[in-house]
Structure 1
Amino acid sequence: MEIFMYCGYFEGGIDHGPNPYSAHVEQMAIQNPNFRTAIWTGCHLQMTLMCIPPCGEIGEEIHEDTDQFIRVEQGKATVVMGRYKHQMDFQCNVVRGDVICVPAGIWHNVMNMGRSPLKLSSVYAPPKHPRGTVDHTKAEAEMREDY
């Protein structure tokens, strides 16, 4: 088996997993125009980039068997989390450089509170989305079963 190593920059939706890979994630996230772009999908984790428009949000969601680590690369947001969809009692404002850790089985939402796009990087363990996922908009993402 040939191992392909790559040092990356944003390439518009190329998923480099499961090969060894290195990239400047903050720069890639800032360049990403898509709601969600999977940049690396392995057997046990996945990294995606997200772009949430002003006044937009990820939307209330839960990943029953997946932990999620989200880093704010640009912008400011409010995150809410909780054990129940209608009782998200954890709330925090986050800015560039802050992280959000979402345990499996927790409802959560991230809302853009700024006037410019919110740029995020996100790690799922295990992977949540199909390898190579590129959702140009939230509506496109919602049409997929794994959203």
Structure 2
Amino acid sequence: MTDTKDYGPASYVMDIEKDTLDNPNFRTTRWTGKNIQLTLMTIPVGGDVGLEVHESHDQFLRLEQGKGRVQMGPSKDQLDFEREVGADWAVLVPAGTWHNITNIGDDEMKLYAIYGPPDHLHGTLHATQTDAENDPHED
């Protein structure tokens, strides 16, 4: 059984690469503090993180496995920044920027995201993207 506990806001250390690679869920909040939040994500082949914008949240994402296409821009209809990324790449998303990462590889894409401030409720677990889309607490 994979650990799905949110350990924040207590002091905590982890093997972030192992936890990210072991995470089977679309989204698992691993640590929620007052000012930042860490989530682990698994995106199936052909799937994506989901086109979104965080008006007051900066975001850091790091791929541990897989290959993705990053798209960002000032509106959901103007994603004029596009890059391919792979394992060990980081993506920095400024607040107010529309963004998405699509899995364009042959394997699951495994990544983690750090939000500042937190974006999801403490202990959020979405086994699938559909679960995330149907969560009344999500944007």
Return the TM-score normalized by structure 1.
0.91
- In structure 1, the partner of 2:48 is 57
**Rg: which structure is higher?**
1
Aligned residues: 138
8 A Cα contact 2:2 2:22, kept in partner? no
2:63 corresponds to 1:93:
no
Counterpart of 1:15 in structure 2: which amino acid?
A: D
Q: 1:94-136: CA deviations, max 9, x gaps?
A: 0111000001100000000111110001000000000001000
Gaps in structure 1 of 5+ consecutive residues: 1-9
Percent identical = 44
Gaps in structure 2 of 5+ consecutive residues: none
Partner SS state of residue 17, structure 1: coil
Counterpart of 2:121 in structure 1: which amino acid?
A: P
Pairs within 5 Å for 1:105-120 = 105-120=96-111
Counterpart of 2:7 in structure 1: which amino acid?
A: H
Pairs within 5 Å for 1:1-147 = 11-144=2-135, 145-147=137-139
8 A Cα contact 1:13 1:133, kept in partner? no
Return the TM-score normalized by structure 2.
0.96
**Runs of 4 or more consecutive aligned structure 1 residues displaced over 4 Å after TM superposition:** none
Partner SS state of residue 8, structure 2: coil
8 A Cα contact 2:26 2:129, kept in partner? yes
